[in-house]
Structure 1
């Protein structure tokens, strides 16, 4: 495995002394250029992890290190240069009157020179397919277009890690697919680590690794295929598995063999069925 970029060391957090712990002795690592999906039932601590990573919150116990730097009030502005976040509702992130103003905002705060800003606005809007909307007012964009601009705004500050906190939840399936395809391409080009916090199983299966949260603790972490083989265990903590894996089980119960254990999507299932039954 490559070098560690993020380290959670026995992190615990609660929003007030009267409330229960949202995270309890939570430990995990995320590596350079890795794509990690964080999943769990509502209230399991997923979004709290995102806010802790970005310095919007600070742990009451334990340590969080980003690229070797501890996240605290003294380091928060340096941390936010390393970690960019895209939220569920992009309207909450817009501050500019036009698309180009919004992409420029983060760079202005960090003292980028004008020439660099112009180059980065053009490059990053092109990367997400929004180069023709420079002077468009953000509120005139569709939901998917707004998320593309939000992603471009984060990319413009050149972070080492991007967090998508339910960033596709408000989009239809086609819009979600487009955004995740864009994010995947951008990640490869920019050597980004990517953390996706999501309920969308089609996003989860694309990740290199999955961290499953349950009641504030890391319940399991492994590759998507290994995680989704634990169907009954996942259901016991309120999570589901990909439809293709469920259908494969039903086919086998009906006497139709499937080559691969637990296909993650319909392409894999069709390939398995074709491979097996083309020989018969």
Structure 2
């Protein structure tokens, strides 16, 4: 099987006199897959994102993006394929209008003007911001700013989008809207998606989850598999979704919940099934 992203025994530290931030980390990302990475602050999550985008280079091991090794000579080729949306969208804005900002990345890549005009319209439409072309980015709401940041990345037509705590500054409603937007865009454009987050409601929607702990890949599996390891997660200080905790309490009280529910709908379905059998 070929993978879009390959980390092969990657280690990284920011200075030689400091401990390793990543230690022999290996994992793959498939095309069209949504991978979530979780872990404490300092566990290496954001460092992985920066390595994947060529903002950092590993001291040990190698990283391949679409079969191309990430090196100083290939980073501009890599960045055409891997786009990144950061926690604070204000840090990504460079244009005086939304239209200018979406155009900026394409200009850096030397795209023809006609293609740029088309992509500005299609990328803004994809995130529901096509009526805001002439607006100043800094006057938008937090959720609108993040939508524009996503549109700016989409316009370059990457094959993978990294969201590095991209919803952390939003309220719950804003987080839900952004993640729904991202899911729709991923499905429409066949993108790979990597989310680095503390929001467990984002994690349960992913196809696969990697748990980082002290610079190493500590656990990997589907969201259901990962959150079924409640005691292990608790031992390293990580939380589980509320519905998972509730299901555990119900099981302890004598209700035989058969699976690890990931949302309220699944838990209600399980409870209704149990009720029907009584």
Q: Same fold (TM over 0.5)?
A: yes
Q: Alignment partner of 2:4: what SS?
A: strand
Q: Alignment partner of 2:61: what SS?
A: strand
| Superposition deviation, residue 41 in structure 1 | 1.0
Instruction: Say yes or no: does 1:233 pair with 2:221.
Output: no
| Superposition deviation, residue 245 in structure 1 | 0.9
CA distance in 2, matches of 1:76, 1:257: 52
Instruction: Say yes or no: does 1:144 pair with 2:143.
Output: yes
CA distance in 1, matches of 2:165, 2:179: 12
Q: Alignment partner of 2:83: what SS?
A: strand
CA distance in 2, matches of 1:5, 1:136: 36
Aligned equivalent of 2:156:
157
CA distance in 1, matches of 2:190, 2:201: 22
- Give the root-mean-square deviation of aligned CA atoms: 1.0
CA distance in 2, matches of 1:158, 1:265: 32
CA displacement, residues 23-75 of structure 1 (integer Å, 9 cap, x when unaligned): 00010111111110001111110000000011111111110010111111111
> What is the TM-score normalised by the length of structure 1?
0.97
Aligned equivalent of 2:105:
106
Aligned equivalent of 2:8:
9
CA distance in 2, matches of 1:75, 1:156: 21
Aligned equivalent of 1:35:
34
CA displacement, residues 116-153 of structure 1 (integer Å, 9 cap, x when unaligned): 11111011101100011000000110000000000000
| Stretches of structure 1 lacking an aligned partner (at least 5 in a row) | none
| Superposition deviation, residue 257 in structure 1 | 3.7
CA distance in 2, matches of 1:216, 1:257: 37
Aligned equivalent of 1:275:
273
Please, which moves more after superposition, 93-102 or 265-274? 265-274
Aligned equivalent of 2:174:
175
Q: Alignment partner of 1:203: what SS?
A: helix
Aligned equivalent of 1:262:
260
CA distance in 2, matches of 1:64, 1:256: 47
Q: Alignment partner of 1:78: what SS?
A: helix
Q: Alignment partner of 1:262: what SS?
A: coil
| Superposition deviation, residue 18 in structure 1 | 1.2
| Superposition deviation, residue 158 in structure 1 | 0.5
Aligned equivalent of 1:78:
77
CA distance in 1, matches of 2:14, 2:237: 23
Count of paired positions:
278
